[in-house]
Amino acid sequence: MTIDFIEVSLVDIALTRPYSISYKTTSAIQNLIVKIVLNNGLYGLGAASVSKHVVGIDTSESYENAVLFKNELTGKNLSTLFQNINLIDQQLARDPGSKAAYNIALHDVFCKASNISLGKFLGNKISSLPTSITVGIKGIKETISEVEEYCASGFTHIKVKLGQQIDIDIERIIKLQERFKNSVVIRVDANQGWSFDETLKFFNSIKNIELIEQPLKVERPEENLSFPKELKKIIALDESIVTPADAVKYSAQNYAGIYNIKLMKCGGISAAREIASTALAKGIDLMWGCNDESIISISAALNAALAYPNTKYLDLDGSLDLVKDVVKGGFVIKKGVMSPVSAPGLGVTLI
Ligand SMILES: [Mg+2]
């Protein structure tokens, strides 16, 4: 089987619930979609939605790169999966968006042609996990009413975006804990918004926090080393862990106990697995996160996540707020617990 042709498109998608984090507000996104079609008519889908703030490139630039790359892969034999992946890695090295979309599409079509699910292909070790659902930066009243809504739909894990003003951040979480007691697990994401002392203040003021994502600026990683051991255990590096090389760098010393892997930072399933393997070897737990993305790439991340025994946290709520998507299927989510479908490949169907 050979790759007959490739379609690349850029789709504008509005969000049902615009949100703010420490450095931006988002109300709509662009999604890059790659469709790889074989000479027997089978096809595989990949998608990407990247954050310029994190990876230095936006989705429309990724789209242009993806269009230029089409001819490189057309005509290649499907069986040479790893050669094809290497080609993508070389040609699209500086663009995690187009790299991720092609990498995911190639995995999807390869698994479909082999008649197995992506989960089986990757060797799933975990069948399902709860995902958190994210509340952006907003007032206490609005935060509580949004969490009430999520609890009513069965979610048990809530991620709260913080990182603007430490005392307000602490108050928001105290009020949330007072209202919900132990009925929800709360994790927070400061998106680089805190100083060393503010992070310590938060840690000393709040009990029962599941994890703290990226409190410090990417530019000052060495400050992580001075945190107390108990705090480091629950710090998840996010913006600091973009590529497999970052995982190697930060696992040389005890910077943090958790790495947040996103296919949209590292460029797809293969690079994510390199990061995950480094973390596994070093005893570091994994959180799998996302941007606002299609079900296509969320399903790819879910299957990659469940293939690692050190995966402890899912934060894969990125397709839940899209006004529309290009596919359905991929995974089921029941009371906040995500499990992939068992259909071949990603198990997604074009709408
Ligand atoms: Mg984060």
Q: What is the pLDDT of residues 241-264, one digit of tens each?
A: 999 999 999 999 999 999 999 999
pLDDT tens profile 269-299: 999 999 999 999 999 999 999 999 999 999 9
| CA 315 vs CA 49, 290, 337: distances in Å | 16, 7, 11
Residue 118 CA to ligand 1 centre (angstroms): 26
Q: Report the share of the chain in percent with pLDDT over 70.
A: 100
Q: How far is the CA of 136 from the centre of ligand 1 (A)?
A: 11
Q: Which tokens in the block code for residue 295? A: 């079900």
**CATH code of the domain made up of 3-115:** 3.30.390.10
Tokens at residue 171, please? 């108050």
CA 214 to ligand 1 centroid distance, Å: 6
User: Taking Cα atoms as reference points, which of 87, 96, 36, 28 lies closest to residue 65?
Assistant: 96
163 Ramachandran zone, left/alpha/beta (phi>0; psi -120 to 50)? left
Q: How many Å lie between the centroid of ligand 1 and the Cα of residue 310?
A: 19
The architecture (CATH level 2) of 120-350 comes to: Alpha-Beta Barrel (3.20)
Ligand 1 center to residue 190 CA distance, Å?
Answer: 7
Identity of the residue numbered 181: K
Average of per-residue pLDDT across 299-311: 98
For residue range 170-202, list pLDDT tens digits in order. 999 999 999 999 899 999 999 999 999 999 999
Cβ 29 vs Cβ 51: under 8 Å: no
Instruction: In the chain, list all ranges with CATH 3.20.20.120.
Output: 120-350
| pLDDT tens, position by position, 125-182 | 999 999 999 999 999 999 999 999 999 999 999 999 999 999 999 999 999 999 999 8
**pTM for the whole structure:** 0.97
Instruction: Tell me the CA–centroid distance for residue 343 and ligand 1, in Å.
Output: 31
Amino acid symbol at 35: K
